Amino acid sequence: MAGIRVKPELKQHMKDIAKVLSIDEKLLKAADKTAENDELFCPGFAVSGQSEGPPLETLSGLSRYIRHCERILSADQWVKEEKVYGSQSVYEEIEKITDVFPFVTCRKIGSSVLGKPLYELKIGADTAERKVHVNASFHANEWITTSVALKWCKEYCAALCENKTVFGHSALDIFSLTSLSFVPLVNPDGVDLVLYGCEDLSEKNEFLNRLNEHRPDFREWKANINGVDLNKHFPSNWDIEQRRKPKAPSYRDFPGTAPLTEPEAQAMHRLITEQPPDRLIALHTQGEEIYWGYEGCEPEQSSRMIREFEAISGNRYQGVKTIDSHAGFRDWFIQQYGKEGYTIELGKGKNPLPFHQFADIYQATEGILWRSLVF
């Protein structure tokens, strides 16, 4: 984390420092929770660690120093960036997000089959009373959901630093009231397989090509690298899916030999069990639909919220109460906790959706994401 070296006494003036940085004091304090005594984190600034010279002692010294640091605003190219992410670029992006916006915390919640880390980002005040969980790329060939999720995350962070209002809600009010738990890449092995193929996985090469029915590329691949569909792998009527879906590993739809044998699903199950959110959003593609019910276990509130989601998307996205599908992450969550859970099927077409649809998808769905943080 890039912080500015300061005399610890200077940090007794956080209110004045917040003014110098033109950011909100509570955001500054949240960012500096993990800073050392002699270091100051400056949210929204690209601070390249100051290696020479004495630590800053005064507000005017800080003011002079910060003028030379780049401020990252909503209009910044990096914030607005639209790009395809494999696992490596997700990790680099997370590093930059937590560096520029140090009020975002990151922790590893598990590893994939191939040992790639699964990360959860958290944004929100310690005192926030509500929790929302958002995840992307449960399904490998739905990787565009990770692009949507990360762009939205950066826009939220920038809006906080600028004290902006988004879709009629103050970003800082959202920060105070709602804690966001965010897993941008649930299935890194699968996403990398779809994007880059299996040449690097010599020992798995034959297995993967057989499961993929020897097609020339892996664009149809939804499962994790063991050929288990992570979203048919949770303990909510799992046996129904087991009876009617493939009985062996496959590029899609195999629910596993039992629920929760796969490390990616175990990590997500543990995350939710440890800290159940009040509302859960799972990003998938495609269909421009939002599934919101499961076996009548969903709360009353979901039917009201879905009308709002529809309206905020300009009625492009339509709520669907139930479908004949079980053992999904969201199905399990609703059944287990009786709380709001939504699967948003982004975009329309054939998976993987082509990236040129990104801007259109983002424009139609960012309002839903913002609204999901408000209670």
Question: What is d(CA 292, CA 307) in angstroms, rounded to the nearest whole number?
Answer: 11
Contact 330, 186 (CB under 8 A): no
Q: Which stretch binds Zn ion (CB under 5 A): 140-148, 153-161, 162-170, 179-187?
A: 140-148
Class of residue 10 by CB neighbours under 10 A (exposed 0-12, middle 13-18, buried 19+): buried
Of 135 and 313, the one with the shorter C-beta distance to Zn ion is 135
d(C-alpha 132, C-alpha 110), whole Å: 20
Question: What are 344's two structure tokens?
Answer: 């948003």
Specify the residue, 154 or 284, whose C-beta has the smaller distance to Zn ion. Answer: 284
Q: Counting contacts by CB under 5 A, is residue 252 touching Zn ion? A: no
| Helices and strands in the chain, H and E counts | 14, 14
**How far is 257 from 277, CA to CA, in rounded Å?**
28
**What binding mask, one character per residue, do residues 231-250 give for Zn ion by CB under 5 A, x or -?**
--------------------
Region near Zn ion per CB under 5 A, out of 135-143, 200-208, 213-221, 233-241? 135-143
Determine the interface stretch with Zn ion among 87-95, 139-147, 306-314, 366-374 (rule: CB under 5 A): 139-147
Dihedral-angle region of residue 261 (phi above 0 means left; psi in -120 to 50 means alpha; beta otherwise): alpha
Q: Which residues inside 175-234 make contact with Zn ion, applying CB under 5 A?
A: none
Q: What is the DSSP letter of 318?
A: E
Q: Smallest distance, Å, CB 257 to Zn ion?
A: 21
Give the 3-state secondary structure percentages of the chain, helix then strand then coil, rounded to 5: 40, 15, 40
Structure tokens at 205: 């090469």
Q: How far is the CB of 318 from Zn ion (least distance, A)?
A: 17
Q: How far is the CB of 341 from Zn ion (least distance, A)?
A: 14
- Closer residue to Zn ion, CB minimum distance, 141 or 302: 141
To the nearest whole angstrom, how small is the minimum distance from the Cβ of residue 112 to Zn ion? 17
- Placement of tokens 């009231």 in the chain: 177
Question: What is the closest distance, in whole angstroms, from the C-beta atom of residue 328 to Zn ion in the complex?
Answer: 9
Of 71 and 139, nearer to Zn ion (C-beta) is 139
Among 71, 131, 139, 252, binds Zn ion (CB under 5 A): 139
User: Any bridge partners for residue 4, and if so which?
Assistant: 40
Q: Catalytic site residue 213?
A: no
- Select which of 93, 298, 345, 366 is catalytic: 345
State the minimum distance, in angstroms, from the CB of residue 284 to Zn ion.
Answer: 3
By CB under 5 A, the count of residues binding Zn ion is: 3
Interface with Zn ion in residues 273-332 (CB under 5 A):
284
41 contacts: CB under 8 Å, gap ≥ 6: 1, 3, 31, 32, 34, 35, 102
Residues 178/277, Cβ–Cβ less than 8 Å: no
Around 288, how many Cα atoms within 13 Å sit in the side-chain half-sphere? Answer: 18
Nearer Cβ to Zn ion (71/284): 284
Contact window for Zn ion (CB under 5 A) among 83-91, 136-144, 147-155, 361-369: 136-144
Three-state secondary-structure class, residue 56: strand
User: Which CB sits closer to Zn ion, 101 or 309?
Assistant: 309
Give contact residues for Zn ion (rule: CB under 5 A). Answer: 139, 142, 284
Catalytic residues: 345
